[in-house]
Amino acid sequence: MKIVEIGVVRSPVLEARDYDWDSIVSEIHLKPEYVPGLQGIEQFSHVVILYFMHQASFDLATDLVRRPRERADMPRVGIFAQRARHRPTRIGISTVELISVASGVLEVRALDAIDGTPVLDVKPYFPAFDRAEEATVPDWVGALMKNYF
């Protein structure tokens, strides 16, 4: 398997954290050879960013099943039932607001990736594909996300 880094995140956030990403404005700097692939992206209000969480780690013994954000009021659930950064593959995905595009740089809001994060892909947000109209989540998700944004 070969995964190609197409760019890098430039962010004011230098260390991982679990909250307050909604106000963060970051830049995604694409490598020059990928810049022509941005043609038309400015017509979208949101994009989906796939990235490699280069400073995250994963310990099978402690991260496979854990409490979200290590909160005592959260149930113990598997890593695939939560959005924690400590994942087996360290691959992250976020839907973000696209603020602007200029000279191979996408300015975005609410990307939960720290400065220096390698970007693997940029996709336009398509509501027909990227949104589930009647999605359900466990009650603990509401408690976890309270005051997140």
The pLDDT, as a whole number, for residue 109 is 94
Compute how many other C-beta atoms are within 10 angstroms of the C-beta atom of residue 121.
15
- Domain count along the chain: 1
42 found inside a domain: yes
74 found inside a domain: yes
Q: Which residue(s) pair with 124 in the sheet?
A: 47
Using one digit for the tens of pLDDT, what is the confidence trace for 94-115? 999 999 999 999 999 999 899 9
73 found inside a domain: yes
Two structure tokens written together for 35: 């810049």
Using one digit for the tens of pLDDT, what is the confidence trace for 63-92? 999 998 889 999 999 999 998 888 999 999
21 found inside a domain: yes
Question: Which of 97, 106, 95 shows the shortest CA–CA distance to 35?
Answer: 106
pTM, two decimal places: 0.89
2 found inside a domain: no
1 found inside a domain: no
138 found inside a domain: yes
Q: Structural domain of residue 23, as residue ranges?
A: 7-145
Q: Enumerate residues 6+ apart whose C-beta is below 8 A from 70.
A: none
131 found inside a domain: yes
Question: Which of 130, 118, 114 shows the shortest CA–CA distance to 46?
Answer: 130
Helix (H, G, I), strand (E, B) or coil at 61: helix
Does residue 48 contact residue 95 with C-beta atoms inside 8 Å? yes
Q: What's the rounded Cα separation, in Å, for the pair 62 and 25?
A: 32
CATH number of residue 72's parent domain: 2.40.30.70
Using one digit for the tens of pLDDT, what is the confidence trace for 16-58? 766 666 778 999 999 999 999 999 999 999 999 999 999 888 8
Mean pLDDT estimate for the chain = 91
**Range in 13-17, 67-71, 114-118, 124-128 the model is least confident about:** 13-17
